[in-house]
Amino acid sequence: MKILANDGISDLGKQLLEEAGFTVITEKVAQEELANAVNEQEIEMILVRSATTVRKEVIDACPNLKLIGRGGVGMDNIDVAYAREKGITVINTPASSSQSVAELVMGHLFAISRGLHDSYKNMETGDFSALKKKYAKGVELRGKTLGIIGFGRIGQSLASYALGCGMNVVAVDRTGNPVNINVPIGNGHEANVSITPSNDLHNVLGQLDYISIHVPKQADGSAVIAAKEFAMMKKGVRIANAARGGVINEDDLLEALASGQVAAIALDVFENEPNPRKDLLNHSAIACTPHIGAATLEAQDRIGEELASLIIGQFAVKN
């Protein structure tokens, strides 16, 4: 059976699939050529990350497709229900990237606390003494309160890192069950902290020094944070969004930054990917990364391994 890994696959994932007898093609096919390539090369499985989309048109045009695999969590680039209706297996790897997204967010929280993102941009051309003054009002994470909105896999992984840094964690989720957070401290030690999420975002917003959002794209496309929510936050709050573009209203965000209500924000995701608006990218209080939350070598290996084991488990015998 031929598998097209159109957005790449780790060496380990490829090796496991090839050892099980699959042919893995990794030469990228342009989106508009996808259906032709699948049919001409007799490909029965497509693996994607977030770049390639597999919509109804591709599914209709490829009657021999047996599986669509998404390396990662969000499946908004695949018409999942339609594919399943047509008898196509659709899989993803929800747990593989939680830790990598959580680490990116911690990096961003440290960066926006000290203006690191802006300093990196300006050191080459700026005046040293002026910049030293500009970045002299940094703040520290330890002892501060982080609100994690969306307390699923990534939110819980972030809680583990934040607790390990001595932050207080307040969680918000639609489900209010207590969660035991394991905090590996290193040198073989660990701590355990139980956190019960609130289901009332508006009630907790005013307590938070930092906020990180980890909800999926909302079914109705609505923003979880817009003008009303910004107004309820502590003045000078710092925020990270490594969830999905649109869960924060970008117009309202720019106003909240202009008024000083939000001191700084980190964005890994944008409403208009892959062409985010320039007034976000060149804003000195916004730390931007190009949707790389899940993109660590370790996560790629975990994703490749998980995809390979799911595929081998379901299809290797018939191969």
Give the nearest distance from C-beta 299 to ligand NAD in angstroms: 9
Give the nearest distance from C-beta 114 to ligand NAD in angstroms: 22
CB 67: neighbour CB atoms within 10 A? 20
Selected range binding ligand NAD among 61-69, 159-167, 216-224, 254-262, rule: CB under 6 A: 216-224
Selected range binding ligand NAD among 5-13, 83-91, 178-186, 287-295, rule: CB under 6 A: 287-295
Decide: is 71 part of the binding site for ligand NAD (CB under 6 A): no
Decide: is 16 part of the binding site for ligand NAD (CB under 6 A): no
Q: Segment 248-267, which members bind ligand NAD (CB under 6 A)?
A: none
Decide: is 202 part of the binding site for ligand NAD (CB under 6 A): no
Nearer to ligand NAD, 22 or 246 (CB): 246
Q: Which of 194, 166, 200, 198 is nearest to 182 (CA)?
A: 194
Strand partners, 70: 48, 92
Decide: is 291 part of the binding site for ligand NAD (CB under 6 A): yes
Write down how long the chain is: 319
Is residue 291 annotated as a catalytic residue, yes or no? yes
Nearer to ligand NAD, 43 or 109 (CB): 109
Nearer to ligand NAD, 96 or 113 (CB): 96
Is residue 273 annotated as a catalytic residue, yes or no? yes
Q: Give the residue numbers annotated as catalytic, written as ranges.
A: 244, 273, 291
The binding site for ligand NAD (CB under 6 A) comprises 72-74, 94, 97-98, 101, 149-155, 172-175, 214-218, 224, 242-244, 268-269, 291, 293-294
